[in-house]
Structure 1
């Protein structure tokens, strides 16, 4: 496996065999979510679908929230950062926000589950939430460029977090949310260029 994220876990560094097991559990979770939804998802059900013992699955994931958060983290961390060669920071920021917003757009059950999972209190989820936040923060800092202000980056993070919650609550599709994020980012960044 060439993807370094595949060999990581919230709990420990993984061998190739362990990474394969975690990957199979993640893929099985997506399948179970599609049929059962987040409320019907259990670690035991995912383990059975992946052909893994429940006890083994619990050595990797403490809860269904942890499992879903890990699936999202792996998807985010392994997704390529959109090209940042445009001289226009607004174009770069919009590319980053759109890409992140659309990571789960084609899988509504997974998308809703991610929102629920990331709001969980499980310590493993809290750890992943920090990792996900750091990754999004770094992508936004890079997109905004050298003239970034911490307030602008934080405002963009708030836009994204609010958009994720709105989409997870079913107010709009993830594609519509990505479009709304673009409009909101343009407004925010236009205000930045007009400020003293």
Structure 2
């Protein structure tokens, strides 16, 4: 997964998710259409699987013209990547206890990301496939997803987060989620492994 520039403390990109597609700023009606298409895509995916899913089928079930759907989404990879981006952006970070240390906060953040698709194997596999695609719109979303994940890690780590530690944690979750998406382990197992490895990273940094 391609990662965006180091988080600079600005407002989360998630704040604009409802009114901004990967192609242009949306008016209210257009934003509603995009939201409907992404939600229907998840429902269709659960029934048909990724191979059988098409933008045309999703558009028909959403009551949207195929030509209109293609003005928002260039491919089914783009559609699925957008659906995942919206889910991530609309999921609040973990509610940390006031006295939680940075290790606890970071582990909770990593576990939340790992389990975001844990109960939806079809969606998880589709997201892995879609995000590895070469569609320019998907590449744009990879950057947005990477930047949002980095923002959450930096927030969990607190002031003066070490860029090398942040990058190591990014490599950890990127590799772990790829393995889960390819079916090498369940998302619950991956979440446990990420926690173990993250704690090892923190211990190494403290030496």
TM-score (norm 1): 0.94
Counterpart residue number, 1:98: 111
Whether 1:18 aligns to 2:30 is yes
State the distance in 2 between where 1:12 and 1:75 align: 19
State the distance in 1 between where 2:87 and 2:60 align: 22
Q: Deviations over 1:40-65 (max 9, x none)?
A: 11100111111111101100000111
Q: Aligned to 2:51, what secondary structure does the other structure show? A: helix
Counterpart residue number, 2:5: none
Tell me the CA shift for residue 147 of structure 1. 4.0
Structure 2: 5+ residue runs without aligned partners? 1-14
Q: Which has the higher helix share?
A: 1
Whether 1:123 aligns to 2:157 is no
State the distance in 2 between where 1:6 and 1:91 align: 31
Residue of 155, 165, 168 corresponding to 1:152: 165
Whether 1:175 aligns to 2:196 is no
Q: Aligned to 1:97, what secondary structure does the other structure show? A: helix
Residue of 64, 75, 78 corresponding to 2:76: 64
1:43-58 matches, within 5 Å, as 43-58=55-70
Tell me the CA shift for residue 29 of structure 1. 0.6
State the distance in 2 between where 1:87 and 1:99 align: 16
Q: Which has the higher contact order (CA 8 A, sep 6+)?
A: 2
How many matched pairs?
192
1:26-37 matches, within 5 Å, as 26-37=38-49
State the distance in 2 between where 1:97 and 1:53 align: 39
State the distance in 1 between where 2:61 and 2:200 align: 46
Counterpart residue number, 1:7: 19
State the distance in 2 between where 1:48 and 1:60 align: 15
Tell me which stretches of 4 or more aligned residues in structure 1 moved more than 6 Å: none
Superposed CA RMSD in Å reads: 1.2
State the distance in 1 between where 2:103 and 2:150 align: 15
Counterpart residue number, 2:175: 162
Q: Aligned to 1:20, what secondary structure does the other structure show? A: helix
